[in-house]
Amino acid sequence: MYQLALIETATHVKAYRNLTSGKISLLDTASGLVVGHADIVNLIPHGNQNRVKFTVNKAGHARVIKECKKYVHAFIVGAVTSMEGFTPYKGRTLEVQTDTQSIDDTICDLDTQVSYNPYKGASFFNKTSGLAIHDAKRVIVNSAGHMVAQA
């Protein structure tokens, strides 16, 4: 079991796919520390954000292209509302935003498949249209790298 506190203001996180652990890593933006890893994460806007953000570090992206190696440089930024398979890292805790919808219920509301491939471009993109996507109302990402969003 893991420790979570259900409160109105959740931990502001950067979520990214960790290729070493095979999970989604959750990085606390305030401390800069990884708080844990999960199999599936449901993200909504944090605090005064009005949308979940897809961000790509330009220097990190350039390094990946130049060296043809994988480096952490692309993130989904928001607040966690629910997750599955969470394992805390070094005993750290994560504050989760209260949400009444389960991940299964939420997936039905999401209409956009999202992907990121540094060799195809420097931003996340809509898998159907191929157009860049920079934010969404809500995002669910799993450890296999599948992302769905409510545009």
- Is 60 in a helix, a strand, or coil? helix
Quote the pTM value.
Answer: 0.85
Q: Are 37 and 25 in contact (CB under 8 A)?
A: yes
Would you state the pLDDT for residue 50? 92
Contacts of 13 (CB under 8 A, 6+ apart): 26, 27, 28, 29, 35, 43, 46, 77, 78, 79, 80, 94
**Residue 12 or residue 57, greater confidence:** 57
Of 60, 94, 87, the residue nearest 74 (C-alpha): 60
For 13-33, what is each residue's pLDDT tens digit? 999 999 898 999 999 999 999
